[in-house]
Structure 1
Amino acid sequence: MVGGDYKNAIKDAYTDSRARPIRASIIGAVLSGLGYAYYKNPTELEMYDMLAELRQQMVLVPNTIHNPRSDAEIANRTLLFNQRRMVYYDCFFFSLVCKKPFDTRIATYVSQNKNLKNWFWQEFWYNIIDVGAFGRFYNLEKSLIDYDIREEEFADAAKSSEEVNLLSQDNNLQPSDKTYLLRNF
């Protein structure tokens, strides 16, 4: 009977785990990790929710201090979504977000002819946008680090402070004059 087979398999697994505890703990840890990865695998709906939330966060920040990399990432994903070129693949333990060269509904010669396309795996590899695992989409989060810091502003500030230092060195100004220059520059 099937129940007896399962009972014998469980008994064998128990006796093997008692004989080799390190091997059993490694197998248990790997299976637990895979179970956790499966449980926390982000879904397509979670991806769209995360994109909408990040758009809302960007709206709350003035455009003048947006990080251009963050703006470009959100604009690119929104464009791909609107053009139906963003595809979500669920791989049980992780997710892949890929872009397609054409809309899924388009039927032009270029989009349908297999001779004009790259090999499937090559096209697939070069068009991966993001990898999602453990409840996160890593490239999206990476591109939105410091989304409210425009790095060009700091480069301009460093450049202007260097100019003030050069002016003060050329004119032999005192430290009190430097602060005046910094405030009025």
Structure 2
Amino acid sequence: MTEPPGLGQAEEKRRLWGRLRAGRLASWCKSLLHDYAEACKDVAQGVRQRPGKAGLYVSLLAGVVSCSLRSPCETSFEASLLEASGALLLLSPWTRSSSSEGHVQRLLKLRNRGQLRFQSLLFFSLVYEVPFDTGADLYQVHCKYLKPRWIEFPSHVLDVGFWGHWWVLHSKMQNSDINDEEFRNLPEHLRTVSFNNLHSEANEKLFDEKYKPVFLTEE
């Protein structure tokens, strides 16, 4: 009397699982799970004994993960650069900041020449300048004695991306609608305007005076 095909296959599967449970791989997996369980117990015991230290480590880990997730990418820098360029184009050349315009124009020129490089460092990103485009096949590119040295790298960094912002470009675009060249011929005490100069009792009185009627006399 022959066994049904289904019973034979089931018996083969049981034998296979039995060999796997008794094999070296199963023993290694059991040992690994046991080690992880013991490590988790030690961590839980340490958290109960020193909750302040554990909270500090968790905060640091959360900060590292957040910085890594918010690190800007190369596309983000391209978008920020084009946005800054468009904002300057909307301003009149007479009111446009020369510092902001010079920085943006330099970045655009290097970008068009293929001399901008992007590097992600997990927690933050860098944009730096290189001497030549990647497609350039010149002697200076291949000669190791003419390549930039690592000690010169900080001077070639153009921007730092951190927490979703490109901070150098952001700082350069501050007060981009103020042309400092217009005030260079003024006296020193008039070149800097403080909050007290803009909002003072004397200025308020002068502002109210302009709405009063003018009386003409014989003189």
Same fold per TM (> 0.5)? Answer: yes
Matched, 1:54 2:84: yes
Q: Name the Cα RMSD after superposition.
A: 1.7
Matched, 1:15 2:45: yes
Secondary structure of the equivalent of 1:65? coil
Q: Where do 1:108-123 residues align within 5 Å? A: 108-119=138-149, 121-123=150-152
Secondary structure of the equivalent of 2:63? helix
Matched, 1:41 2:44: no
- How far did residue 7 of structure 1 move? 3.4
User: How many corresponding residue pairs?
Assistant: 159
Q: What is the aligned-residue identity percentage? A: 28
Larger Rg: 2
Distance of 1:102 and 1:46 partners within structure 2 = 23
Q: Provide the residue aligned with 2:119 in structure 1.
A: 89
Distance of 1:111 and 1:15 partners within structure 2 = 58
What residue ranges of structure 2 are gaps of 5+ in the alignment? 1-29, 191-219
Q: Provide the residue aligned with 2:131 in structure 1.
A: 101
Larger RCO, structure (CA 8 Å, separation 6 or more)? 1
Distance of 1:13 and 1:26 partners within structure 2 = 14
Matched, 1:77 2:107: yes
Q: Provide the residue aligned with 2:55 in structure 1.
A: 25
Give 1:14's aligned amino acid: A
TM-score, scaled relative to structure 1? 0.79
Q: Provide the residue aligned with 1:153 in structure 2.
A: 182
Matched, 1:140 2:164: no
TM-score, scaled relative to structure 2? 0.68
Spell out, residue by residue over 1:42-86, the C-alpha distance to the aligned partner (whole angstroms, 9 max, x if none).
010011011111111111111111101100111011011111110
* Higher deviation after alignment, 32-41 or 122-131: 122-131
More helix by share: 1
Aligned CA distance change for structure 1 residues 58 and 118 (closer, same or farther; 3 Å): closer
Q: Provide the residue aligned with 1:130 in structure 2.
A: 159
Distance of 1:76 and 1:84 partners within structure 2 = 12
Give 1:136's aligned amino acid: H
Distance of 1:100 and 1:69 partners within structure 2 = 22
